[in-house]
Chains A and B, each alone.
Chain A
Amino acid sequence: MRIIVTLFIVVVLGLLGPNLAEAVSSSELIEKAKDYDGEAIAYEGEVIGDVMRRNDYVWINVHDGKSAIGLWVRFSEAGEIQHKGNYKHEGDRVRAKGIFNRACPQHGGDLDIHVQELEILAPGYEIAHPVSWRQVVIAAVLSIIGGLMFLWERARKKRVQAGLE
């Protein structure tokens, strides 16, 4: 009996395993939404923008390089998110396991994932944006030329008004 149960577990895990082990891409989820609707899936990507709290839950948007998908996460699960992707930060890279909804009835038809488990794969970090000195020089030269042309045009206008031109 124990052998049968063990075999059964191995077969079931073997069938379900690939779904949960391999993250599904956003384009796959959007293009084949009907196939994945209501299924348990894994999804990976960068947390972008904001962690938007709604009572005991939060909305986060996770971008996998193609598109972003909204994740509905219990507030306690989302507490570990430190970095949200924006101009100055690369967001935390997360792996979410949960139920995919093609048109979530709870959230006004949103295509979303109700997360059951959220794991931080890699923490985000600050992105440095050093000023290019070549651009600074170009900007300085151009603004001086622009300023001189402005003064030249004003002087010409004054001459016209004075009837000299």
Chain B
Amino acid sequence: MLRRPSIEDLNTVGHYLGRLVVGIGVAMLLPLIVSLVFAEWAVAIWFVIGASISFIVGYLFLLICPVTRDIKWLHGLIVVPIAWLVAMLLGAIPLYLSSHFGSFLDASFDAMSGFATTGLFLIQDIDHLPEGINFWRHLSHFIGGQGIVVAALTLFTRGMLPGAYTMYESEAREERVLPNVAQTARFIWMVSFTYLILGSTMLWVVGIFEGITPVRALMHGVNLFMAAFDTGGFAPQSQSILYYHSFPYEIAVIPIMLAGTLNFGLHYALWHNNRRELYRNIEILSLTTTIFLTFTVAALALTKVEAYSSSVSLFRKGFFQIFSAHSGTGFMTISARQFPQEWKSLAMGAVVVAMALGGSAGSTAGGLKALRIGIIFKTFLREVKRLISPPSAVIVETYHHLRDVVLEDKHVRNVMFISIAYFTSYTLGAYFAMYYGYSFGEALFESVSATANVGLTAGITSAKMPALLKIVFILQMWAGRLEFLSVSALLGTIIAGVRGR
């Protein structure tokens, strides 16, 4: 029997939603400052409007739902997906006011793409964007990548009770790095800010050496860092990384994408000098293997179609795109239409597989995740061993992920649920795109890119795309980022609200 949510449940959900929405308003003050620094007065006004509306909506929730009780598991599962939708609508306000979008739907698409760290975009004339708006686009990667809830948890730690951990988990973060969720949130921010300073400085210096003026190089460095570390994929210019025509720039963003695609639990181990974890962790083994395999396929395919004539070109185009896809970033060093025109089916297929597999669990990357791929492989091994062993034999399979874990059926069940959800989304999105006349290969490419929050495009995603397809991609980015669990809980609650007792 379904239990209809009570008024108290709605109060709790509304209260925590209000807190998170106020957090979005606070975040908008940063691009407001950037706009003022660059004397972009009109832009500053857009952020005042966006932040004010966020505060009004947030405080309205808090006044209507003045609950101070701790939240339960189900509340957390419901708050998070709604918070992401509300964040999308509010985050879209300054974007829409910039007049760089054909409609509010387009601005919402980019806002969701930013928060979900996807990187697909419908914005027009990127090359004439103000610094404030460009900063907001990239900051949305940073906020969404760390997790909107993680961000809010850090802001409102005093008021958050232990049950907030359910919200943390609902954002597809599986590891409680430290015993306390607020401490974990703070650790994530500490790591992120340390990398932000190091990575932005590195990109800034490279930018200056590559002929960009210091101030512009700094803004490019900060923006690109946020997009790379949070495996987002937005870039300050329309050509993505190709804009720089620079091998050093490409080399510099690769380790940042790598850092972004690693598990925060692993970052914690490395910060505490536990380097053995690097060699033993199932995610690292899985990630290294699948990157190697997908790049091998792509390299063979690109060589066969004579796309590139040297190994340097093969690395700068082939490896970069595969790594960008696998890490879930979506930076490009080729034009979108070069995928179908020059890479052809097999190499594109390798990119689709890389995107579908994704990075590490507990990172900002999307896709199935390396941990699940590792568990699927271990399950396969266990079943083979079981087949060739006597019926009385007890087969125990283990894997190492921050600690030694015995493979149990509950792990396999969880992996199967998420995997089926991802594959269903990949397929449904592709069917929607094919309905509008796109080829199977390009449709699948775009659908996987949206669900796995990658951001590579074969050219389908544009302002001219049908409105329904834009909505489908928004839903894919949203559900994919939250790994379907909390979205399923929200749908279940809505059904319970209608049919339950």
Q: Which residues of A contact B (CB under 8 A)?
A: 27, 30-31, 33-34, 48-54, 58-59, 61, 63, 67-68, 70, 72, 85-87, 90, 102-103, 105, 107-112, 127, 129-132, 135-136, 138-139, 142-143, 145-147, 149-150, 152-153, 156, 160, 165
Contacts and interface: CB of A to CB of B under 8 A. Distances in A.
Interface string B116-131: 0000000000011111
A interface majority secondary structure: mixed
Given A108-B317, A132-B45, A135-B45, A49 B129 contact: no
B244 to A, nearest CB: 7
A132 B213 contact: no
Contacts of B51: 143, 146
Nearest to A136: B45
Nearest to A134: B45
Given A108-B313, A112-B245, A160-B66, A131 B45 contact: yes
Given A132-B42, A150-B55, A109 B313 contact: yes
B299 to A, nearest CB: 13
B391 interface: no
Contact of A50 (B45, B212, B338): B212
A33 to B, nearest CB: 7
Query: Which of B51, B239, B310 gathers most chain A CB within 10 Å?
Result: B239
23 contacts: A50-B216, A52-B245, A58-B211, A68-B127, A87-B130, A90-B128, A102-B342, A108-B247, A109-B307, A109-B309, A109-B316, A109-B334, A110-B242, A110-B245, A129-B130, A131-B42, A132-B42, A135-B42, A142-B53, A146-B51, A152-B63, A153-B62, A156-B63
- For the complex of A and B, 10 pairs with smallest distance between CB atoms: A109-B313, A52-B211, A142-B52, A146-B55, A149-B59, A108-B316, A48-B127, A139-B48, A53-B211, A146-B52
Nearest to B212: A50
Contacts of A152: 59, 63
Nearest to A50: B212
A68 to B, nearest CB: 5
Contact of B237 (A48, A54, A102, A146): A48
B41 interface: yes
B488 interface: no
B335 interface: yes
B175 interface: no
Interface in B54-113: 55-56, 59-60, 62-63, 66, 68, 97
A109 B48 CA distance: 44
A130 B41 CA distance: 8
A103 B317 contact: yes
A142 B66 contact: no
A63 B129 CA distance: 14
Given A68-B127, A70-B243, A136-B45, 12 more contacts: A31-B337, A52-B246, A59-B244, A67-B335, A87-B128, A87-B130, A103-B313, A108-B313, A109-B316, A146-B51, A149-B60, A149-B63
B40 A160 contact: no
Given A33-B341, A49-B237, A149-B60, A103 B245 contact: no
A70 B222 CA distance: 23
A103 to B, nearest CB: 5
Contact of A61 (B42, B56, B237): B237
Contacts of B131: 87
A37 to B, nearest CB: 10
Contacts of B211: 50-54, 58-59
Given A50-B212, A68-B238, A139 B49 contact: yes
A135 B316 CA distance: 46
Interface string B446-464: 0000000000000000000
B45 A139 contact: yes
B129 A153 contact: no
Contacts of A48: 127-128, 237-238
Contacts of A53: 211
B63 A103 contact: no
A67 B338 CA distance: 13
B338 A33 contact: yes
B335 to A, nearest CB: 5
